[in-house]
Homo-oligomer: A and B are copies of this chain.
Amino acid sequence: MELSPTAYVILGMVSREPRSGYEIKALVDDTTRFFWAASYGQIYPELKRLSEAGLVEGVDAPRGERKRTVYAITADGEDELKAWLRQPPQTFEMREEGLLKLFFAGVLPPEQAAETLRAMRAHRLQVAERLRTMEPKAEEKKLEKDDPYPLMVLQGGIEFAEWFAEWCERMETRLLGSTQTKRSS
């Protein structure tokens, strides 16, 4: 069974309770988003495919008069999810435009490279702050659902953002320190 990478996010997201496509999207956006995103354009077609493959099952679950379909994982779906979870991870990708700009910064004066570092740092600090606001809710859920992993991953995200910000700061200092000798270019 060859599933697309996004298929597993969906399987995981419906593994504990049935959810609608809309809910999956919202959940992805405020949990896995920073290391694994998914858009409507992927989620809805994928739900259809998973449903045809018998890994999830759609059930009508209207809210009032508004129609709504939630998808529940099937026994096969759970097997598939667990089999995947037991495989060692294969995908490790990063696209960090700031590092790319820093890499090429030699064609500009050092002050411009420092500016890139400051922008990177500011961005990471913002991310860290946003993630921190989510921490209390994740902490609650941990106790409620007896599942420590989402909180662990969130805290990893916070630590990473802060580590990165700190690195940017260090590099900026190093950069400006080493140009101080030749006064103003």
**Residue A100 at the B interface, CB < 8 A?**
yes
Q: How many copies does the complex hold?
A: 2
B97 near A85: Cβ-Cβ < 8 Å = no
Partner of A152, one of B34, B102, B152: B102
Determine the residue in chain B with the shortest Cβ distance to A168: B156
Task: Give Cα A32 to B98, complex, Å.
Answer: 12
> Interface of A with B (CB < 8 Å)?
5, 8-9, 12, 15-16, 31-32, 34-37, 78, 81-82, 84-86, 88-108, 112-113, 115-116, 119-120, 123, 145-150, 152-153, 156, 159-160, 163-164, 167, 171, 174-175, 178
Task: Give Cα A107 to B77, complex, Å.
Answer: 12
